């Protein structure tokens, strides 16, 4: 699997849990021998402006976070493009799914996955998209930006037991679509904030995603969101990647 990454994502750019030192390193320690890295490039201003207001972009700039947030958005765009050829994973931070068009919270600034999908739609490369958000928290920013567009189905599983969770994911990915983007948060793990999924369940989710992608002849990519227990985060990410590769 190709992983879009940049060394700047290792930096601690703030005090929130998503910016915590070592968070990216614990993932790299697990996946580095199994993946092909692609260096991330920043998103262009016009691509960010497809999803965010001028005032919001100015706010992120005033926070001193435009550069790192634009780099994360650019990595998501690259990952989506690679996804037409093979599954891809954007290993980024800051995360993005709590970033609405004119407001953000939850450690997010620009909505990485929304920017990537909106760009593909404008370029007429897709007609219909699915965003599967497996983070413990709903991707309210993604709903705000893409939910009103009419071409994206956004799935936020809320089941509290693994069997029901996996069944929901499998059943919900049965419809026709041109691309599936996974907002890949790992804080639903039983040893993280959500307390629902075991590590092996991320492999199963990866398999389901790849199976649905193949069935629909669709592109497939993922973008890193949450996940804060560094003792299990790297293993969870690796299992998801292995599942996609095996599906």
Q: Are 225 and 98 in contact (CB under 8 A)?
A: no
**Given 98, 136, 189, 201, which residue is catalytic?**
98
Q: Are 220 and 178 in contact (CB under 8 A)?
A: no
- CA 176, CA 42: separation in Å to the nearest integer? 31
In Å, what is the CA distance from 63 to each residue of 58, 67, 76, 137, 208?
9, 10, 21, 24, 39
Q: Is 59 a catalytic residue?
A: no
- Which is it for the CA torsion 133, 145, 114, 92, positive or negative? negative
Residues in the chain: 247
In Å, what is the CA distance from 213 to each residue of 6, 33, 171, 234, 244?
27, 25, 13, 24, 10
Catalytic residues: 98
């Amino acid at each position: 699997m190709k992983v879009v990454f940049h060394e700047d994502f290792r930096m601690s750019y703030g005090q929130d849990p998503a910016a915590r030192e070592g968070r990216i390193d614990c993932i790299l320690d697990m996946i580095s021998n199994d993946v092909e890295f692609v260096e991330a490039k920043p998103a262009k201003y016009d691509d960010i402006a497809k999803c965010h207001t001028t005032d919001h972009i100015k706010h992120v700039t005033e926070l001193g976070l435009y550069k790192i947030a634009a780099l994360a958005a650019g990595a998501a765009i690259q990952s989506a493009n690679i996804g037409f050829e093979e599954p891809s994973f954007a290993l980024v931070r800051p995360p993005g799914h709590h970033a609405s068009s004119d407001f953000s919270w939850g450690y997010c600034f620009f909505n990485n996955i929304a920017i990537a999908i909106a760009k593909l739609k404008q370029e007429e490369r897709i007609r219909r998209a699915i965003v599967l958000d497996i983070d413990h928290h709903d991707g309210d920013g993604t709903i705000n930006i893409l939910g009103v567009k009419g071409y994206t189905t956004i799935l936020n599983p809320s089941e509290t037991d693994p069997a029901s969770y996996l069944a929901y994911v499998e059943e919900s990915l049965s419809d026709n679509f041109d691309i599936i983007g996974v907002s890949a948060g790992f804080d639903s793990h039983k040893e993280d904030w959500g307390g629902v999924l075991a590590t092996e369940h991320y492999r199963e989710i990866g398999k389901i995603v790849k199976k649905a992608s193949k069935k629909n002849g669709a592109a497939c990519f993922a973008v890193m969101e949450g996940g804060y227990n560094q003792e299990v985060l790297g293993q969870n990410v690796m299992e998801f990647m292995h599942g996609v590769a095996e599906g």
